[in-house]
Amino acid sequence: MPIPSKTFWIETFGCQMNVHDSERVAGTLSARGYTPVERMEDAGLILFNTCSIRDKAAQKVFSRLSQYKALHREGRVFGVLGCVAQQEGEALFRRAPHVSLVAGSASYPRLPELLARLEAGEHRVTGLDPASEEAFETELTRRDHPFRAWLTIIEGCDKHCAYCIVPYTRGGERSRASAAILREARMLADTGYTEIQLLGQNVNSYRDPSPAGLSFAELLAAVAETPGLKRVRYTTSHPRDFSAEIVRVMGDHPTLCDHVHLPSQSGSDEVLRRMRREYTRAEYLEKIALIRGCRRPLAITTDLIVGFPGENERDFEQTMSLIEEVHYSGTFIFQYSPRPHTEAGAWGETEAVPDAVKIERLMALQRRQQEIQAADNQAWVGRPVEVMIEAYQTKLAQWSGRASSNRVVNFSGDGRVEATAPGALPVYRPLRPGEYAWVRILRAGANSLVGEQIAAPPAANA
């Protein structure tokens, strides 16, 4: 059954790479004459861009698919993209027979061809290519975020963490040529974006495939120097590939945000070894020391997994002591979920940690981390912080945004009066999402800072 109208709707699950992939898929669709619609019910083509990192994430798409089955009877065409598509392959057609398209991220360059087949009425279209040498380049990317843009620098992952499905769903590492990245950064700055987030499963194993041969740190520096950009973030870093050079470049370029996300996963050497993380606790802490040695303070956040097979009380205490030692400014803590195609997924139940224990450990870590954050955030009270405004919170009657350290800052303020030139009349600049404001912090909680707008502090103007 051909696609009834050239309209589409796309729902995205998972990480920022997926969010950005959806923007690129939307761009490809628009280039073929499709228009996006606000409601799934109005779309001819309904796409789910899926995540498979934990079982719960993967199940979401199947519940969505059964929830909206009736739309298929009305002639709508369903497609499943992303990591669950790659993981399930053609088996997905058996589980959800009303799906017409199954495509993993490595096949997005072939989307125009896959769409043409759907348009011709084919009902079993697959794009399950293994990762090719080429990274995904599109003519057109529909940017959904009004003032923060994502920019992929490397796709896939060559590590083999025992628990992780990503190398399977996303394939091996492919870096984009530095010139293409820098061109896109300039284009984004020219169209008014001031914040860019460089994306990759493993950004610091970036290897420039072009003769320029930039290292990740050199690429960071080059992106940071793009005229018009005010903030550059990057995620995710793997501890083994994280270098002193990156910290030096961050110190030299204030455009590079005061934040490093460095997933540790566990504080126990034994668990790290079994996870195949390729570093010990001591080596991880050496990287933390490098970051702490930066010439300006950097916030550090992490991912942690609790209940990895064989994790005992002593191992868990090591993770607890790691968060005590590092004083992260934020943590993402996950219960281990066995995944197909992974090494640990095949280990069976013998060393499995019971769900109740996983939950207990997760909550204990979260409780302690909240106390650490609440105490550490007190140090911000009284200090000026520059905030990129994201939204107005009507309920709180406050603006909300993020500091360079990625901390959430809520503040009161109604714009400022600014002198333009000596002798000229001052102008009133209202606050708006996407703009920057200086805020003095008045109160600090575990998860956010609260303050009031001030004029830019003199030091910041220097």
Binding site for ligand SF4 (CB under 6 A): 157, 159, 161, 164, 166-167, 201-202, 238
Using the structure block, give the residue that is written with the tokens 């996983």: 358
238 or 274: CB nearest ligand SF4: 238
| Residue 337 interacts with ligand SAH (CB under 6 A): yes or no | yes
29 or 131: CB nearest ligand SF4: 131
- In sequence order, what E strands does 206-298 have? 231-235, 259-261
Of 71-79, 122-130, 147-155, 332-340, which part binds ligand SAH (CB under 6 A)? 332-340
197 or 202: CB nearest ligand SF4: 202
Q: What SS3 state is found at 204?
A: helix
Q: In angstroms, rounded to a whole number, what is the distance separating the alpha carbons of residues 328 and 299?
A: 7
Q: Which residues in 279-308 contact ligand F3S (CB under 6 A)?
A: none
At 412, give phi and psi (nearest 5°).
-100, 150
Least Å from the CB of residue 442 to ligand F3S? 36
Please name which of 88, 237, 59, 62 lies closest in space to residue 168, comparing C-alpha atoms: 88
Residue 303 binds: one of ligand SF4, ligand F3S, ligand SAH, none (C-beta under 5 to 8 A by kind): ligand SAH
- For 57, residues 6+ apart whose C-beta sits below 8 A from its C-beta are 13, 14, 50, 51
Least Å from the CB of residue 461 to ligand SF4? 40
- Alpha helices (H) along 297-453: 313-326, 355-377
Q: In angstroms, rounded to a whole number, what is the distance separating the alpha carbons of residues 176 and 155?
A: 8
Among 170, 277, 281, 402, which residue interacts with ligand F3S (rule: CB under 6 A)? 170
- What's the token pair of residue 359? 């939950």
Q: What SS3 state is found at 170?
A: helix
Q: Which residues in 37-66 contact ligand SAH (CB under 6 A)?
A: 53-54
| Residue 265 interacts with ligand SAH (CB under 6 A): yes or no | yes
Q: In angstroms, rounded to a whole number, what is the distance separating the alpha carbons of residues 215 and 249?
A: 11
Among 25, 45, 53, 154, which residue interacts with ligand F3S (rule: CB under 6 A)? 53
Q: Please state at what angle helix 313-326 crosses helix 355-377, rounded to 10 degrees.
A: 20
| Residue 14 interacts with ligand F3S (CB under 6 A): yes or no | yes
| Residue 163 interacts with ligand SAH (CB under 6 A): yes or no | yes
Residue 54 binds: one of ligand F3S, ligand SF4, ligand SAH, none (C-beta under 5 to 8 A by kind): ligand SAH
Q: Which residues in 70-99 contact ligand F3S (CB under 6 A)?
A: 82-83
Least Å from the CB of residue 303 to ligand SF4? 8
Q: In angstroms, rounded to a whole number, what is the distance separating the alpha carbons of residues 207 and 101?
A: 33
Residue 167 binds: one of ligand SF4, ligand F3S, ligand SAH, none (C-beta under 5 to 8 A by kind): ligand SF4
Q: What SS3 state is found at 97?
A: coil
C-alpha pair distances (Å), 253 with each of 52, 256, 301, 371, 425: 36, 6, 20, 32, 34
Least Å from the CB of residue 26 to ligand SF4? 24
Q: In angstroms, rounded to a whole number, what is the distance separating the alpha carbons of residues 399 and 452?
A: 10
Please name which of 236, 232, 234, 237 lies closest in space to residue 254, comparing C-alpha atoms: 232
| Residue 52 interacts with ligand F3S (CB under 6 A): yes or no | yes
Residues that bind ligand F3S (CB under 6 A): 14-15, 17-18, 51-53, 82-83, 165-166, 169-170
Residues that bind ligand SAH (CB under 6 A): 53-54, 163-164, 166, 201-202, 236, 238, 263, 265, 303, 305, 334, 336-337, 339
